[in-house]
Chain A
Amino acid sequence: MAARLMQGNEACVEGALAAGCRFFAGYPITPSSEIAELLSRRLPQVGGSFIQMEDEIASIAAVIGASVGGVKAMTATSGPGFSLMQENIGYAAMAEIPCVIVNVQRTGPSTGLPTKPAQGDVMQARWGTHGDHPIIVLSPSSVMETFLLTVRAFNLSEKYRSPVILLMDEVVGHMRERVELPPPESLEITNRVAAHVPPEWYFPFEDPSTDVPPLAPFGEGYRYHITGLFHDRAGFPTERVDEIDAWIARAFGRIEQHRQDIISWEEDFPAGSRVLVVAYGATARSARHAVKLARAKRYRVGFLKLETIWPFPEEITERLARQCRRVIVPEMNLGQLALEVERVVGRQKVRRVNLANGEMITPQQILAAIEEK
């Protein structure tokens, strides 16, 4: 395909359509609005549906409903709307309903700085809904990566029957850059596994052959119960400890056991690197720039860009950090993913670089941290 100048939010739309998304419900909010705007035009052209809802609570509810109806569905929002969605994100996690939630982060808390970037929702993306729950969170750092990770978000969501959060930020969402999208036929697209038993034998939450039971769409003869309560294999409420334990083991296990499939990153780690810079999202751009500046000054620096941030990529972080004296974690927040890095590599090694005032962290700020003794 020809080179185009494309905005991050536009790439998210193209990725969603390429992945097979045919339903969007949302409420426009800066800096995510272009996603809703473009999908309102594009979805009807491909036989999909777009609904502008009354608020974000209704938006995620409609997305969950569409997904249960058998359609790949997503919503897009920013901090304030993401807060409103939390309850139903938990519902989707509990009922194991695939869906994609895009959060183009702006500076918070509250309405904060509507047009300015931040990475302040890292912990909310992981723990925003109450109760222990499995979740997958991806974070792109370029327009091209936004396209690819949106496709991946849908694939993982369908494969593992889980809500997946695409955690963008204002810089990446509004940034325009030159991209050449891969031809659609070259993309790997995961579709939902159809129920392979007749309705009377079907259990939506148990399948002896897999830890991800097929989700039969409503309206095709499969009648079952869905609830936010802990439920048995048929979906009906239960308080039996053995059934609750079984759900926990399977729901978390399906993510934990497939970490290798879910976690993606990019490393640029020359042998002998003594300092490691770990970054994600727009900040990864500043970080890579800083690493190049540092190498020009003969510092031995390695770089790790995380694409999956939850589940946290412990293995690769540990493996690279072990070879380094210091680990630098720049983030447009007051230190969120740094907590995970510290947990994995030890607090003494980690140097945080934080900014939460709506500005991007500059390469110079990261370079200064690299140059510290």
Chain B
Amino acid sequence: MEMNDRYEIRLAGEGGQGLILAGLILAEAAAVYDGKNAVQTQSYGPEARGGASKAEVVISDGVIDYPKVIAADLLLCMSQEACSKYVYGMKKNGILIVDSVHVDRVPTSRAYMIPITKIAEEATGRRITANIVALGIIVGLTGVVSRKAIEAAVRARAPKGTEALNLKALEAGLAEAERIRAEAERGQSAPSRAS
């Protein structure tokens, strides 16, 4: 069935965190550079900054009819509000990634609690690159798009003059995912505990 090979991603947080751009980059990586089908939709409030914001990406080898997430295979939460709202809209084995800089209450132990914003700040000196760090983590942990594809998409869609900065952020995210996987293989906490 076409519908069963849908991979559904929800990126949720606040306006201004660049989540819609992150969704666009992920969709472009899948659709243009990996040659799959991808649909990206968005939902945000009327405010220019702040307010809830989310991007959704559905990736499939087949036709994508319903363009929104039905139950997320992967949920990224960059705010407490987003986490509280969307954590129950996941598949049973869905992957939950939260930015522990912004989220401290997670109603499950099956979550990757990662200080995404802090990693961004350390890697690039710019908190605003947290969205791209998150993309690196997502791709590193799930392989939903190829590394080559996400690099090409970041390069193509990063604002002019910030390509190197954003690629550095992507690299930091991929490295973090690598570290988490290595830890998991050594039988340590995987996914990392909420406490």
Chain A interface residues (CB < 8 Å from chain B): 3-5, 30, 114-116, 171, 174-178, 282, 285-286, 288-289, 292-293, 296, 360, 362-364
Contacts and interface: CB of A to CB of B under 8 A. Distances in A.
B27 A360 contact: no
B28 interface: yes
Contacts of B2: 292
B38 interface: yes
B193 to A, nearest CB: 34
Given A174-B41, A175-B41, 14 more contacts: A5-B28, A5-B40, A115-B46, A177-B31, A177-B67, A178-B36, A285-B65, A285-B67, A289-B66, A293-B3, A362-B68, A363-B65, A363-B66, A364-B70
B13 to A, nearest CB: 16
- List the 9 shortest-distance A-B pairs measured between CB atoms, nearest first: A178-B31, A289-B65, A289-B66, A5-B28, A176-B40, A288-B65, A177-B39, A114-B46, A5-B31
B65 A175 contact: no
Interface in B1-54: 1-3, 24, 27-28, 31-32, 35-46
A177 B64 contact: yes
Contacts of A288: 65
Nearest to A358: B43
Interface residues of B, number: 26
11 contacts: A3-B32, A3-B35, A171-B67, A174-B42, A175-B39, A175-B41, A177-B27, A177-B64, A285-B65, A288-B65, A289-B3
B72 to A, nearest CB: 14
Contacts of B37: 177-178
A176 B46 contact: no
Contacts of A360: 68
Prevailing SS type, chain A contact patch: mixed
A362 B39 contact: no
Interface of B: 1-3, 24, 27-28, 31-32, 35-46, 64-68, 70
Contacts of B42: 174
Contacts of B45: 115
B27 A176 contact: yes
A292 to B, nearest CB: 6
A178 B32 contact: yes
A176 B56 CA distance: 10
B84 to A, nearest CB: 19
Given A115-B43, A292-B3, A296-B1, A175 B32 contact: no
Nearest to B35: A3
A285 B27 CA distance: 18
Nearest to B55: A176
A5 B27 contact: yes
B70 to A, nearest CB: 7
A292 B64 CA distance: 12
Residue of A4, A178, A296, A362 ringed by the most chain B CB atoms within 10 A:
A178
A292 B32 CA distance: 26
B41 A171 contact: yes
Contact of B66 (A115, A116, A285): A285
A292 B35 contact: no
Given A30-B46, A171-B41, A176-B40, A3 B31 contact: yes
A5 B33 CA distance: 10
Contacts of A285: 65-67
